[in-house]
Structure 1
Amino acid sequence: MAEAVLQVENLSASYRKNTVLFDVNFVVQAGSLVGIVGPNGAGKSTLLKTILNLHPSLTGSVKFFGLPFNKVQKRIGYVPQRGSVDWDFPTNALDVVTMGLYGQIGWLKRPSRLHKQKAFEALEKLGMADYADRQISQLSGGQQQRVFLARALVQNADLYFMDEPLAGVDAATERAIMTLLKELKALGKTVMVVHHDLQTVEDYFDHVLLLNRTVIQYGKTKQIFTRENISRTYGGDLRWLREESLHVHNPIK
């Protein structure tokens, strides 16, 4: 059986006294590509932030590779929502990616030629080598997202968390990102992705976590991603989704 890379038990969190997550429990095995799916306000982004100690928890525990976060932080990569980043900060694409190596370089040391080369190769992998010297404010949304993915890639983490990396990007960028994520999975990496497009879940993810403040279901996509479970997650039937565009099992009759 694959190693448990993430174990979440009885996790709860709130914003301004409003409970956003309650009694969240799941275990993720190594080499999984997991889609986190649920309606707006379901706590998807908060789940990632709470797991990563970026937001306080009320109850519960989180273990990574059987250890607390501060013991394995260098093995974990995080890509926040693009909208949460100050893209007007005066720096170029190569420097942004190089920042992903500061855990190896040290914050007060200058990156070496080898570090810069690693960063450039990560940009190259995402089709952004020609934009290495471009100011990030001059990049399109899809290009900015590729740079952010390159920064995570250069960390060479074992477990990645990505908050809506496909939101608002063009079709070519979406394909490039999904190709990268599937390559990471093939290398034995584990990737958890907040995702909003139900129509692509089955094509993109081998596991799915259906979330609406708590875990509705979690498991292999082929077994869990049913019309009944989606309806439970979103709080009603999904007549607004055409049957032919949502290829899920056990459709509601």
Structure 2
Amino acid sequence: MATPILQVENLSASYRKNTVLHDINFEVNAGSLTGIVGPNGAGKSTLLKTILNLHPSLTGSVKFFGLPFIKAKKRIGYVPQRGSVDWDFPTDALDVVTMGLYGQIGWLRRPSRLHKERAYEALDKMGMADYANRQISQLSGGQQQRVFLARALVQDADFYFMDEPLAGVDAATERAIMTILKELKAIGKTVMVVHHDLQTVEDYFDHVLLLNRTVIKHGRTEQIFTRENIANTYGGNMRWMGEEKRHAVHSIE
């Protein structure tokens, strides 16, 4: 049986005095592509931030590769929500991607030509090489998201966490991002993605974690992504789309 590379036990977290996450327990094995799904306010972004030591926990423990986050962080990449970034900061796309290498370069050292080449290659992989010297404020939302993903890719991490990478992007960018995520999985990387579109869960993810302040269900998508489990997660009456997408949700009333 595979040894989990992420173990979350009895994790709880709050904002001010409001408990946002309660008694979170799950494990993740290497080489999986997991969608984190739940209603607004379910704690999806907070879960990522708490796991990654960006938000304090009230209780519980998190281990990566059997180690606390601080000892494993060089093997972990994170793509926060695009809206949390100051895109008016005066820098270009290549510099943003190069920042993903600062853990290797050191914050007080200048990037070498090799570092710049690696950053350029990551941009090229995301179809953004022609925009390497473009100010990030001049990029569209989809282009900004591609740059953000390139910054994560250049780290060559073993485990990637992404918070709504497909939110507000055009169809071409969504396809490009999912192609990259599936390629990462194919070479043994592990990816967890906060995702909002229930209609694409079955096509995009081999595992799903249904969350509403606690883990409702977690496991292989074909086993977990069912009408009953989703109704339990969202707590409402569901309207379902055609048989070709048996578990796709049309709307939540």
TM exceeding 0.5: yes
Counterpart in the other structure of 2:241: 242
Structure 1: segments with no counterpart, 5+ residues: none
Counterpart in the other structure of 2:130: 130
The alpha carbon displacement at 1:4 in A equals 1.1
Counterpart in the other structure of 2:183: 183
Q: Is the 8 A contact 1:88 1:137 kept in 2?
A: yes
The alpha carbon displacement at 1:248 in A equals 2.0
* Equivalent-residue separation in structure 1 for 2:214 and 2:242 (angstroms): 27
The alpha carbon displacement at 1:58 in A equals 0.4
Q: Is the 8 A contact 1:9 1:61 kept in 2?
A: yes
* Equivalent-residue separation in structure 2 for 1:46 and 1:40 (angstroms): 12
The alpha carbon displacement at 1:246 in A equals 4.1
* Equivalent-residue separation in structure 2 for 1:245 and 1:40 (angstroms): 27
| SS at structure 1 position matched to 2:5 | strand
User: What amino acid maps onto 1:248 in structure 2?
Assistant: H
Q: TM-score, normalised by structure 1?
A: 0.96
Structure 2: segments with no counterpart, 5+ residues: 249-253
Counterpart in the other structure of 1:156: 156
| SS at structure 2 position matched to 1:148 | helix
* Equivalent-residue separation in structure 1 for 2:2 and 2:79 (angstroms): 24
The alpha carbon displacement at 1:2 in A equals 3.0
Q: TM-score, normalised by structure 2?
A: 0.96
Counterpart in the other structure of 1:43: 43
User: What amino acid maps onto 1:108 in structure 2?
Assistant: L
| Cα distance per residue 1:2-55 (max 9 Å; x no partner) | 331110000000011000000000000000000000000000000000001100
User: What amino acid maps onto 2:50 in structure 1?
Assistant: T
Matches within 5 A, 1:6-17: 6-17=6-17
| Cα distance per residue 1:110-162 (max 9 Å; x no partner) | 00000000000000000000000000000000000000000000000000000
Identity among equivalent pairs (%): 84
Counterpart in the other structure of 2:233: 233
The alpha carbon displacement at 1:217 in A equals 0.1
Counterpart in the other structure of 2:58: 58
Q: Is the 8 A contact 1:122 1:151 kept in 2?
A: yes
Counterpart in the other structure of 2:251: none
**Residue 90, structure 1, aligned to residue 85, structure 2:** no
Counterpart in the other structure of 2:201: 201
